[in-house]
Amino acid sequence: MDEGLKREIRDNNGSGRFAVGLLVGAAFGAGLGLLFAPKVGSQLRRQIGARATNLANVTSSTYRKASGRAVTGWKAAKTFYDSARSANGHEATGPRG
């Protein structure tokens, strides 16, 4: 297997675990913050809203990065596949073209 493709696969696996850990950690931290920091109802709602917005922004950013890496990985895998088929005397493109 091509070393660049192996590195791309390894990097993508790490980023997925990081994203899951980030989301779980953010949710856990927000829950602990609510439990140990009693506030007036309006302040608490405002704080929850701000944290939810921040979490949504982080999640969206992480998703965009992961999607970009997935596309890059897919293109690298397709290039590797096409070059392997060519080297073996087959057509350069598969059924999906």
> What tens digit of pLDDT does each residue of 17-51 get?
777 788 888 888 887 777 777 667 778 788 888 88
On whether residue 15 sits in a domain, the answer given is yes
* Predicted pLDDT of residue 39: 66
On whether residue 12 sits in a domain, the answer given is yes
Task: For tokens 């493709």, name the residue.
Answer: 5
Number of domains in the chain: 1
* Statement: residue 95 has pLDDT above 60: no
On whether residue 46 sits in a domain, the answer given is yes
Q: Contact, 8 vs 74, CB < 8 A?
A: no
User: What residue spans of the chain are helical by DSSP H?
Assistant: 3-36, 41-87
Summarize the confidence of residues 42-69 as an average pLDDT. 85
- Least confidently predicted of 2-11, 20-29, 47-56: 2-11
* Predicted pLDDT of residue 5: 56
**Which domain does 29 fall in, by range?**
3-85
pTM above 0.85, yes or no: no
On whether residue 70 sits in a domain, the answer given is yes
The phi-psi region of residue 39 (left if phi > 0; otherwise alpha if psi is between -120 and 50; otherwise beta) is beta
**How far is CA 7 from each of CA 14, 21, 28, 76, rounded to the nearest angstrom?**
11, 21, 32, 11
